[in-house]
Structure 1
C-alpha cells in the first residue's frame, strides 16, 4: 500500500499541489506526498455529527483551481469508519458535480482495508466501483493490496487500477507503461516469492473459507468493542468517534486530558499500546483478543482517572 500511494503521487502530483484528504488520515501520507513529492496536504472535515461531512469535501472540490486531487480512504485509518449507502451516493454525487463544473479530478482510493465492514447498511464496495465510469473529467485510481485484506503482513505486494469514462486502450496502455516505469525506477519489482504465494492462495479451493474465518475473528473483536463501550462510566473521560469497519477505532478524550500523556502512561503502567492523535487515541482492536477487550478499555479509563485526580 505504501508503495502504491507513493506511485500515485509520482504519477499525478506536482510540487506545490494540494491533495485533499480527510481531517483524520494515515500519517504516512505526509511522508508519501509531502516529503517525497513536495506536495501539500489539505484536510477537509471528516465528521459531522455521527456521519461524514460530505459537504465539506464537496466544497473543497469546488474551490478555486481546475485540477483537484482527492484521496478517499474507506474503511478510514485511523477511525474505522466507512460510509453507509446514502453517504457513498452523496460522495459520488459531489465528485460528479465538480467534474461537470469543469474540474479535472484525480481520485485516489486507498482501499487498504477493503471488505472489512461489520455492520448492515454500510457500503461494501470501494468508491472506485462508481468513479471508474463516472465522468470524462474523473480519473479513478484504486490502490489496494493483500496485507490487510488477506492477512499477509510482510508480503509487500500491492495493486494499482485505473478507470475513467471513455478511456481508450491507448490511454490505459500509456498509464500502465508509465506506472511500470515508475515501479522499475524505484523498487525494480515486487517480491516474486510473495506474488507466487498469493497466486497459489487465490487459486486454493479453501481460500474463501479461510478468509471468512479470519474476518469473523475481526468481527468478534469489533463486537466486543461495541459491547465494552456501552459502559456509561467511560463517558466521564472519553467517547468513541464513529466507527463501523476496518482495523481501528478512535476515542476522543475529554478536555483537560493530553492524549500523548495518556498514551505514555498506558504503555508504562498498563502495557497497553495506542497511538495519540491530537486529543484522540487510536485503538487497534484488530490485534486484541476478545477476552482482553474489556481490560483494554478499563485500563484506558483507569489511566485517564489517574491523570485527572
Structure 2
C-alpha cells in the first residue's frame, strides 16, 4: 500500500504571497517585465554592521549548537528591549526562534487544545488560520470594516467570546492593511480582554515601521496583570532587513516560554548560530539604519497613496505602519480586464499580472475578497512604472 498523507495535510494550503511571488518570477524567467509588489520583504540590504557581526561570529567559531531557546546574550538583549518598553521581562521568558512565523507556531502549540477557538480579526496575515488549525484550534474569523480602519472593536470581541475561546490574535501594525491601533484603542481592547479568561498572541513584527511620529506600543504593558495573559511575537526580519536570516522571538510567561523552548528543542534545535549573533548586533548596535529605512518607507507610502488616488475606481485607507496598501478594487468586479472576466480578487490579480505585468496579492487570502495587497517595499522607480502599468490596465 502506498503512503498517504495524514488528515492534517488538508488543513493548510500554500502561502498566497509566496505563490503569487513565484508566478511573478516564472513570468520574469520568460522574459516578461514584471513589477512585483507581492512579498513583505524590504529591498534594503541588511545593515553593514550586522553583516560584519556575522563574519566575526564565523571567525570566532560560533558555528556550533546553541541552547535551543537561543544564546544567552541575545535573550538578555531582547529582555532588555522589552523592559525599556515597560514590560518586566527576564531572559527566561524569551525564546529565540527561526523567524516570527516559527514563534507563532510554537505559541499556538503551547496554548491551543483541540477544539479551542482563536479569534482572528480579518483582514489577517495569510498564515494565521493555517497555523491555528495545525495546532488543533478553530480560527474564528471576525470581519472588521474599512470604515473602522479594519480595527477590531471591543464590543465585537466581547460578542465573539464563547466558552471555547482560548485566544485573541492581535496584529498591530497589521499585515495586510498597514493599520496601527492607537494606545487608546489597544487599551480599550485590553480592558475587554481582562473581563474574560481569554489570552492574547500579539504579533508586533512591524513595531518599528510606523509613521507620523507614533511610538511602538507593547500590548502586554497596557494594564496591570495583562502580561500574564500575553505572548508577544516579534523579530528582526522587517525592521532590520533580515528576512533571510530567520530570527524571531516570543516573550511569554515563564511556564509558556519553557514549553516553547522544549518544543523547539525537539523540532528544530536552535536557530542558526550565526544569525543569532547578527541579530544581537542588530538590536544592540546603532539604530541609524532603522530610522533611515523608516523615513524612506514614509516617502514611498506618500507617493503610493498619491498614485492610488489617480487610479479609476480604486480606494485605500491610508496606512500608519508596515509597508502595505490594501486596495479596494471591488468596483471593477464584473468587468473584463485583459482577457479575464473579473469577479473576485484572485481573478483581478491574475488579470493584472498577465496583462499589465503587475504582481499583487489577492485579498481573498487575507479574508477580504474586495481587496488586493500592494507592498511598497521597493524603490520609487519600480513603484512609478508599476503604477503606470496598473493605471493603463484599469483604464482599458
User: Offset at 1:50?
Assistant: 4.1
Q: Deviations over 1:66-104 (max 9, x none)?
A: 6530000011111111112332232222223x2xxxx22
Q: Is the 8 A contact 1:156 1:194 kept in 2?
A: yes
Match of 1:82 among 169, 180, 183: 180
Indicate yes or no: 2:330 matched with 1:254.
yes
Indicate yes or no: 2:220 matched with 1:128.
yes
User: Offset at 1:38?
Assistant: 2.4
The runs of 5 or more residues in structure 2 that have no matched partner are: 1-99, 334-343, 364-368
User: Offset at 1:8?
Assistant: 0.6
SS of the aligned residue for 1:141 comes to strand
TM-score, normalization: structure 1? Answer: 0.83
Match of 1:283 among 374, 379, 382: 374
The verdict on how the C-alpha distance between 1:107 and 1:203 changes in structure 2, with shifts beyond 3 A counting, is closer
The verdict on how the C-alpha distance between 1:245 and 1:32 changes in structure 2, with shifts beyond 3 A counting, is same
Q: Is the 8 A contact 2:237 2:243 kept in 1?
A: yes
Question: For 1:267-306, what aligned pairs fall within 5 Å after superposition?
Answer: 267-277=353-363, 278-286=369-377, 288-306=378-396
User: Offset at 1:144?
Assistant: 0.8
Match of 2:300 among 207, 221, 224: 221
Aligned residues: 281
Q: Deviations over 1:114-170 (max 9, x none)?
A: 1111124x4631322225x3359x51100111011211011111111125xxxxxxx
**Please, what is the CA RMSD of the aligned residues?**
2.2
SS of the aligned residue for 1:49 comes to helix
Question: For 1:30-109, what aligned pairs fall within 5 Å after superposition?
Answer: 30-34=129-133, 36-47=134-145, 49-51=147-149, 52-60=151-159, 63-65=161-163, 67-96=165-194, 98=195, 103-109=196-202
Counterpart in 2 of 1:166?
Answer: none
User: Offset at 1:242?
Assistant: 4.7
Hey, what's the Cα distance between the residues in 1 that align with 2:284 and 2:299?
A: 27
Match of 2:203 among 110, 113, 127: 110
Counterpart in 2 of 1:4?
Answer: 103
Counterpart in 1 of 2:116?
Answer: 17
Stretches of 4+ aligned residues off by more than 4 angstroms:
none
The runs of 5 or more residues in structure 1 that have no matched partner are: 164-171
SS of the aligned residue for 2:179 comes to coil
Q: Is the 8 A contact 1:45 1:56 kept in 2?
A: no
Counterpart in 1 of 2:242?
Answer: 152
**1 or 2 for the larger relative contact order (CA 8 Å, sep ≥6)?**
2
SS of the aligned residue for 1:148 comes to coil
Q: Is the 8 A contact 2:117 2:165 kept in 1?
A: no
Q: Is the 8 A contact 2:115 2:137 kept in 1?
A: yes
Further displaced range: 105-114 or 261-270: 261-270
Counterpart in 1 of 2:57?
Answer: none
TM-score, normalization: structure 2? Answer: 0.66
Hey, what's the Cα distance between the residues in 1 that align with 2:284 and 2:318?
A: 37
Counterpart in 2 of 1:186?
Answer: 267
Indicate yes or no: 2:319 matched with 1:237.
no
User: Offset at 1:22?
Assistant: 0.8
The verdict on how the C-alpha distance between 1:123 and 1:86 changes in structure 2, with shifts beyond 3 A counting, is farther
The verdict on how the C-alpha distance between 1:56 and 1:129 changes in structure 2, with shifts beyond 3 A counting, is same
User: Offset at 1:59?
Assistant: 2.4
User: Offset at 1:56?
Assistant: 4.8
Hey, what's the Cα distance between the residues in 2 that align with 1:176 and 1:238?
A: 44
The verdict on how the C-alpha distance between 1:135 and 1:81 changes in structure 2, with shifts beyond 3 A counting, is closer
SS of the aligned residue for 1:70 comes to strand
